Amino acid sequence: MSRRDGLGCAVAHPFIERTVLALWSTVSPARLSIASWDDDDLAVVYDKVTGDTHLIESSAIEILRLIEKSPASAEAIAHELADLISADDQDKLPQFISATLLQLRDLGLVTDTPV
């Protein structure tokens, strides 16, 4: 992932508004292998179809794991992750989630369906 803000997510994508009006899901739970470690802020995602391996921040993995269970909107994801974010960063959460979802989509790990 590229340039980062204070939360560790990339700087806002030009189409963030679109993330709010979509249901997000992983490409296929069986297609992705995720490895993470308790003492690290990074995780590895291997795409069994493309053969690509991605080094991803643990916060993005939390989003992947949420939408792996069931497709969700960016708003629903924000609600689920709100307890994991400090009160000072709550106002940045929607932008963080939108930017992360768009990056995961660009990597081919998630898909969005307009609602």
Domain ranges for the chain: 16-108
Q: Please give the structure tokens belonging to residue 39.
A: 């003492």
What is residue 40's predicted lDDT score, i.e. its pLDDT? 85
What is residue 53's predicted lDDT score, i.e. its pLDDT? 97
pLDDT digits (tens, 9 = 90+) for 9-64: 444 444 455 566 799 999 988 999 999 888 888 999 999 999 999 999 988 999 99
* Measured torsion, CA atoms of residues 75, 59, 9, 45, in degrees rounded to the nearest 10: -110
Which conformational region is residue 3 in: left (phi greater than 0), alpha (psi within -120 to 50 degrees), or beta?
A: beta
Is the model more confident about 83 or about 103?
A: 103
Whole-prediction pTM: 0.78
The C-alpha atoms of residue 92 and residue 50 are separated, in whole angstroms, by: 33
